[in-house]
Structure 1
């Protein structure tokens, strides 16, 4: 079983809460003795985790850069907790909300993926879906940027994205893609029912087959000089509009 590294307070703290058994050891900056570091170390000791004093050079080598905040954990991979079917079945069984899924077609930048996962968690999306090809997987950078959301939101990589979209359609989920040339905006469509919101990579956008599989296309109105938004910002606009509509539609 191959190990990997998580770094930063948020990412490692969430792993401590959700899967402490997967943490082999946590390396801490021996020069830091502030209240935040002391509190973190106390929580790790309570969980029975081995703590190792390290210097900045070693932490930077393990994390791949200087933005580790003095905390790097060596971890075993956590088994994927959900399949797409399981996610949708849980949503249907809970009856607390309708399905809200974010689909990323061709996002390869780990910073963008991490930000999208964080937004998805905040907006209450039940999963983020991406193709196994031409997409970034979960890594230490993704986990750091996601600030814990990489542990809380299932990130499902599927071999055939169009097939996964059609499977969601069979369950009554509307597939709504974001496209700059769409004739209607996201404010013109009803997002209160089960929906999957699809975003393509910056520049090329969605692949043609993905676009054809969508039930509807919507645009985000752009009133300034720039033509488009960063994919994580666009995800936030779409997901929070869906959340706003759902909150408004709920009976008092």
Structure 2
């Protein structure tokens, strides 16, 4: 009987021959979850990873020239270092990766949650923005413009990985990246803590410049095309739009984030630190 069953399964690998007994679920293909060490590359990314006490580092692969450049930046590795060649690094991270002669093997950052937002003033929330290049660019802009955290969903958002880290150019280790299961519920919790929740929407009742800001704000941006989802909009206090004076009426989400953060800081009366 076992032999017959094995032969049947070999010719019918995805069917269940025994009624009443559920078939084993098939493994899903696609991007795997980050469950072990990742490889971070690029001088800015690696420098920020060494400066972050919450980043658990394991091993550094670098060319002699890259090691000198890191030391010039004040980075003295506290992990084993293996000198290698640019071709050796390309084999590790791919031909198209701009590694700048350095690859760091490290663990993903700890899972940050709402508790890490205590004392925050300006938080940027991304509703199902999936492109790691866009999210990385937004993380970098959020650091530059003094946001306290960037919030994404656990699903339909990029995992922490080499592409996201490189696109963020070090920002991943300089700002809290909070991941939540349910964006609408997260916004309700933030509202209960006294945060004003503003979603960017082309049908907003006022432009963002004309929106009155509270002392603490969560700014919500949606994916290109779909925008902020209906349930997430319903959890916000206001809908605001970005009015463009030129012939092109909309911006890429990463560019929209820069403009929205700048306007929000001005509206909240936040001034650059000296």
Identify the residue that residue 177 of structure 1 maps to in structure 2.
199
Deviations 1:131-165 (A, max 9, x none): 11211122111111112110121111111111100
CA contact (8 A) 1:192 1:249 kept: no
Take 2:71 and 2:80, find their aligned partners in 1: how far apart are those partners? 10
How far apart are 1:17 and its partner, in Å?
0.9
Question: d(CA) in 2 for partners of 1:143 and 1:186?
Answer: 30
Q: CA deviation at 1:183?
A: 2.8
The counterpart of 1:56, out of the listed 54, 61, 86, is 86
1:189 aligns with 2:220: no
Instruction: Structure 2 unaligned segments of length 5 or more: list them.
Output: 1-34
CA contact (8 A) 2:55 2:108 kept: no
RMSD: 2.2
Structure 1: 5+ residue runs without aligned partners? Answer: 92-98
The TM-score with structure 1 as length reference comes to 0.86
Could you tell me whether the CA contact under 8 Å between 1:114 and 1:144 is conserved in 2? yes
Aligned length: 236
CA gap of 1:27–1:248, structure 2 versus 1, over 3 A, is closer
Seen in structure 2, the aligned counterparts of structure 1 residues 61 and 208 have a Cα distance that, compared at 3 Å, is farther
Distance 1:183 1:196, change over 3 A: same
Match of residue 219, structure 1, among 205, 230, 241 = 241
Q: 1:25: Cα distance to partner?
A: 1.4
Aligned-partner Cα distance in 2 for 1:61–1:195: 44
Shift, 1:248, TM fit? 6.5
Instruction: Please tell me whether residue 9 in structure 1 is matched to residue 21 in structure 2.
Output: no
Query: 2:106 — aligned with what?
Result: 75
1:192/1:242 contact within 8 Å kept: no
- Cα deviation, 1:184-208, whole Å, max 9, x if unaligned, reads 1000112352110000001111111
Q: Deviations over 1:39-64 (max 9, x none)?
A: 414755x3432221222233123223
Q: Which structure has more helix as a fraction of its residues?
A: 1
Indicate the structure (1 or 2) with the bigger Cα radius of gyration.
2
Q: Which residue of 2 aligns with 1:84?
A: 114
Q: Distance in 2 between matches of 1:123 and 1:74?
A: 29
Deviation at 1:21, TM superposition (A): 6.8
Choose between structure 1 and 2 for higher RCO, CA contacts under 8 A separated by at least 6 residues: 1
Q: Specify the alignment match of 2:63 in structure 1.
A: 29
Deviations 1:66-105 (A, max 9, x none): 311111111123323x421331x234xxxxxxx2110100
1:210 to partner: Cα distance: 0.8
**CA distance in structure 2 between the partners assigned to 1:248 and 1:124 by the alignment:** 9
Cα distance in 1 for residues equivalent to 2:152 and 2:236:
15
| Post-superposition offset of 1:171 | 0.7
Alpha-carbon distance, 1:14 to partner = 0.7
Could you tell me how far 1:247 is from its partner in structure 2?
A: 4.0
